[in-house]
Amino acid sequence: MPGALSGLKVVDLSRVLAGPLCAQMLADHGADVVKVEQPAGDETRHLGPPFDERGDAAYFAAVNRGKRAITLDLSKAEGRAVLEALLAGADVLVENFLPGTLERWGLGYDDVLSVRHPRLILCSITGFGADGPMGGLPGYDAVLQAMCGLMSINGTPESGPTRVGVPIVDYVTGYNALVGILLALTARQQTGKGQRVDVALFDTALSLLVPHAANWLCSGLTPGRLGSAHPNIAPYDKFRAGDGELFLGIVNDGQFQRFCRRVAREDLMEDPRFQTNAARLQHRDALRKEIERTLVSFAVEDICRDLMQSGVPAGAVNSVPQAFAQPHVAHRQMLVEQGGHRAPGIPVKLSRTPGKPGRPPPRRGQHSEEILTELFGSKGGKR
């Protein structure tokens, strides 16, 4: 079956992470994505080691599969003419330039692109949006984590504020961009017109403060760092066991009671300090000591298996290699191996129109001749 987005044509002017990830997800589900790079190329190609056999960083490969690539110098009229030809047949344009860049090139959305290409959807990904007190400033994942409070609630009291170990702001911004594009495509079916999708890392970072922002807005108390623990739930944390560490995700009294029975600590169920979630939160340190004193006699793999089968969420704290070695990874097709390219699989499964990972990430300008021939009908045409 063709992908859900088969026939959709996307021009990807973005670089680094959020925009390329968004465009990759469109490609995974059937869109024809053309990645346009300036002569220097997407800087993510150089963010290594490790590098692949072609000299591109593994980082680049993570968010650019399924695309065709062309190199254009958009600072020159010739390059912009080719871009205009691409846009004439495109449904979506994804870009993450500093605000005002397209306008300087004579390609502003309101006065040019929306007039010439009324069905075009422009997805602009920025750090802070185009206007306001911080409008137009550059934005990077870790800087936004710091500015928007994510670092302040990540880490321990001893560690101080700590960056989340994955570029979570960039990553979720890519998903927000995808959602915005799909919403705009749905609206276009009704109106026949495209629109601008405005996605900012600043907005994404603030939206990630769940439940910390809600807690503060309600209580007035500034959230702090709890390590792996949850501010509203206990026991919901990392614990030591006999041969390693595991995470318990107990969110209600029934799960806590099943846990106590499974580890032969029914006495904890009867202890008034632990009978409700609110009580367990108040006495979380005492509860931690009791749980770790109990788990020391269990092997991580065994107790996690038994707890999960009992309906108690629990999982080993795995390394990245251990995570991908789990048999369920293969079952869920979450490791792609094709043409020497290895990467995480597609996380969204559709029953009638399933996505599939496309061609390996392109070399810089790899498909320039092919794309130019499609646009202008002759090899070595207008550049």
In order of 15, 32, 91, 212, the CA distances from 358 in angstroms are: 19, 10, 19, 39
Nearest-CA neighbor of 21 among 8, 40, 35, 7?
Answer: 35
Distance of CA 358 to the CA centre of its chain: 19
Beta-carbon count within 10 A of 333 CB: 13
3-state secondary structure of 160: coil
Distance from C-alpha of 64 to C-alpha of 87, rounded to nearest angstrom:
20
Distance from C-alpha of 23 to C-alpha of 365, rounded to nearest angstrom:
17
The residue assigned the tokens 């009638």 is 352
In order of 157, 247, 257, the CA distances from 252 in angstroms are: 27, 15, 9
Is 32 marked active-site?
no
Question: Where do the DSSP E strands lie in the chain?
Answer: 9-12, 32-37, 67-71, 92-95, 121-126, 196-200, 236-240, 245-249, 314-316, 335-338, 341-344
3-state secondary structure of 302: helix
Distance of CA 44 to the CA centre of its chain: 16
What proportions of the chain, in percent to the nearest 5, are helix, strand and coil?
A: 40, 15, 45
Radius of gyration of the chain (CA): 25
Calculate the CA dihedral of residues 364, 37, 16, 211 and round it to 10 degrees. -130
Distance from C-alpha of 250 to C-alpha of 264, rounded to nearest angstrom:
17
Between helix 300-309 and helix 253-262 the angle, nearest 10°, is 130
Encoded tokens for 334: 């979450």
C-alpha angle with apex 199: 197 to 204, nearest 5 degrees?
A: 150
Q: Choose, from 42, 170, 203, 237, the residue flagged as catalytic.
A: 170
Residues belonging to the active site: 170
